[in-house]
Amino acid sequence: MIFGRKRHNAIALVAASAAPRPPIVRKKIAHEVLAETSQYAFFSFLVFTSVVYLRPVDLFPETFGTLPIVKILCFFTLLFCAPQLSKRLRVNELRKQPILTCFLAFLGFAVFSQVTHAFFWWVKRAILDLALLAIYLMAMVTIVDTPKRLEKLLKVMAGSASLFVVLCMLDFWGVLEFETIKKLKQYTEGVDATGKPVFIYRMQGTGLFLDPNDLSQLIVLSSVIYAYFFSRKDNGTSRFLWAIPIAAMALALVMTQSRGGLLALGASIMTIVAIHYGRKACIGAAAAGVMGLLAVGGRQASVDLSGSTGGARLALWRDGFVSISGKDAIFGIGYGIYDEVAGQLAHNSFVHAYVETGLVGGTFFFGMWFFALISIIRMKSVGIDHLPDNLRQFHPYCAALVVGYCVGMFSLSRNYVIPTYQILGVAIVYVNLVCVRLKPAQLLAYVDRPHFYKMVAGSACCFLVFYLMVRIIAR
């Protein structure tokens, strides 16, 4: 059973805010998460991760054609870590991993959403597509089992992502030319002095990161990771070299002209400031950021929900909500069907999940991020000052990765791509590494009734917020 009946099997909630009494711990971890996997598995996984961003098939289609490089690397990674990975699927282990449990449940209901409509061809496609996500995240949680491996993974993620961004920048400036990378020419709804329409050019990528908003997610991810290494005082003066890629990513974000990317970066910065300096400093930083944005101006400083872009996205949400009724409200319209009922994807990962996989699947999608955030937030309450420097200093930056990506998903449909679950994987690995080093070792979240009820309540609030936005604004 997922939910134990006995009270002593549950983990007491650790208050996210200051509490007058110390947190109660009802479950302890007496051993390390898992034995370290082989170096071959780790190397294969790092290559797998880099190819997720630097996809040769997308950048050089004439050379690599339809070679399934990602699937080949997935197979070898699975081959190297299969014995250890299988231990993760045990019920007792899953109860200690609420993020992973919600992830597997979400994938299961994504497949089931097609079964309820008897779209059996789509069921096969869903299983093949989602199996890649499952293998990647399970392998990540299994293989990345030490702080050093986590740091190496972060460097590969940021390095591969930023290298792809730099290639896009060089193409945008005309230094290099990639057949698959094109500038996005966008009308600004204005005219110049001669009465001619005014256009802007926005940098975009290719493949999974074709849209400027998708590309901006890579920029924010890389920036947060670089900021973490920049903050590591134990690296001496060499840490200041990390300012170079940070500056490059800031320029790249301006070139995308992405409002969603700017909001995600702002949310990440405020998260870091809030954890380091408190709420008042966070509010001050937010006010300073808004004033600076208004002073600079431009497309990214203009946020209008009823405008062309905002209004179009709200219309997509509306079309999705209209399509769910009866049993479809429970189990959804089916995996991969959203663009058939709305003409495009939802451009909101949470709305996309609620519509395609129903309230049940959408709740588990929300639950992944819910458990990731509360686990990270509770670390400050239980005390992490005694942890090694690398784990202790990564705390605000891990929170920033999760918060920033969540904000970015408000304007993107990223439910079924590996980069989304890389962020969750980093959160799972970090939480696991911290839990076994707490004194006493303990779990920060657990699959039990209290947590389940809180997840459902939070998901209901999330659904209502987006639904009311559609009802009030997009009539």
> Tokens 């003409």 — which residue?
343
pLDDT tens digits, one per residue of 90-132: 878 888 899 999 999 999 999 999 988 887 777 888 898 899 9
Q: Would you mind telling me the total number of residues written for the chain in this entry?
A: 475
* Greater model confidence, 375 or 473: 375
What is the reported pLDDT for 305? 52
Confidence of residue 280 (pLDDT cuts 50, 70, 90): confident
What average pLDDT does range 230-240 have in this prediction? Answer: 87
d(CA 308, CA 188): 10
Q: Which two tokens stand for residue 13?
A: 């909630």
Q: Are 307 and 299 in contact (CB under 8 A)?
A: no
Confidence of residue 27 (pLDDT cuts 50, 70, 90): very low
What average pLDDT does range 468-472 have in this prediction? Answer: 86
* Greater model confidence, 216 or 194: 216
What is the reported pLDDT for 10? 35
* Greater model confidence, 294 or 172: 172
What is the reported pLDDT for 122? 79
| Dihedral sign for Cα atoms in the order 305, 306, 312, 314 | positive
For the ranges 78-92, 402-416, 437-451, the maximum mean pLDDT occurs at 402-416
What average pLDDT does range 289-303 have in this prediction? Answer: 56
d(CA 41, CA 74): 11
Q: Which of 26-30, 234-238, 316-320 is the least confident region?
A: 26-30
Percentage of residues in the chain having pLDDT higher than 70:
84
d(CA 339, CA 334): 11
pLDDT tens digits, one per residue of 60-93: 777 666 667 888 888 888 888 877 787 777 878 8
Q: Which helix (H) or strand (E) holds 187?
A: strand 184-191
What is the reported pLDDT for 85? 80
pLDDT for 146 beyond 70: yes
User: Reduced to 3 states, what is the DSSP secondary structure of residue 266?
Assistant: helix
pLDDT tens digits, one per residue of 328-344: 899 999 998 998 888 88
Q: What share of the chain is helix, strand, coil (3-state, %, to 5)?
A: 70, 5, 25
Q: Are 69 and 51 in contact (CB under 8 A)?
A: yes
d(CA 81, CA 142): 8
What average pLDDT does range 361-389 have in this prediction? Answer: 92
What is the reported pLDDT for 439? 82
Q: Which two tokens stand for residue 447?
A: 């699959």
- Tell me the pLDDT of the chain averaged across its residues: 83
Q: Which two tokens stand for residue 469?
A: 């936005």
pLDDT for 386 beyond 50: yes
What is the reported pLDDT for 36? 55
* Structure letter (DSSP) for residue 177: -
Q: Which two tokens stand for residue 427?
A: 């959160």
d(CA 92, CA 94): 6
For the ranges 8-12, 15-19, 176-180, 471-475, the maximum mean pLDDT occurs at 176-180
Burial 327-355 (b: 16+ CB within 10 A, else e): ebbebbbbbbbbeebbeebbbbbbbbbbb
For the ranges 230-234, 296-300, 420-424, 468-472, the maximum mean pLDDT occurs at 420-424
